[in-house]
Amino acid sequence: MNYLKWALRLLWFPFYAGVEITKTSFQVMWDVLTPGSAATPAFVEVPIRGRSDFEVTMLANLISLTPGTVTVAVRHEPPTLWVHGLYVQDRESFREDIHAIEDRILAFTRTPWSAESTTSEGGTR
């Protein structure tokens, strides 16, 4: 990975996070303002690839910042988050959504010159 690509990922991440937070804010707002409830709450165990405290904390905090989700617990070995989601239709697709966020975080936290960047491609979830 070249340095320019890494820098662009780093600069793009706040916009990505802002869009995700805005989308879910409107989803929660719509549910609150309309009659009935579309909520299907669930606790979901999500195995993660983040190894450093920074990566795990960044992911857990972004999940909690997103309306309708909150990180309830963290386990470091093996790295796992327990997440409460307000709109969980399918646990596997919910995990995939969390992994998509994690992929964006790992894309800029694992720099081209770090040791983790060489092992991030082959990791399992």
In a domain, 106, yes or no: yes
How sure is the predictor about 118, in pLDDT bands with cuts at 50, 70 and 90? very low
Q: For residue 73, what pLDDT band results from cuts at 50, 70 and 90?
A: very high
- Is residue 125 domain-resident? no
pLDDT-derived band at 122 (thresholds 50, 70, 90) equals: very low
Number of structural domains the chain divides into: 1
Which residues span the domain enclosing 42?
Answer: 3-119
Above 70 in pLDDT, residue 117?
Answer: no
Look at residue 86 in the predicted model and tell me its pLDDT.
Answer: 94
101: pLDDT strictly greater than 50: yes
Rounded to whole angstroms, the Cα distance separating 119 from 51 reads 11
Q: Give, for 86, the enclosing helix (H) or strand (E).
A: none
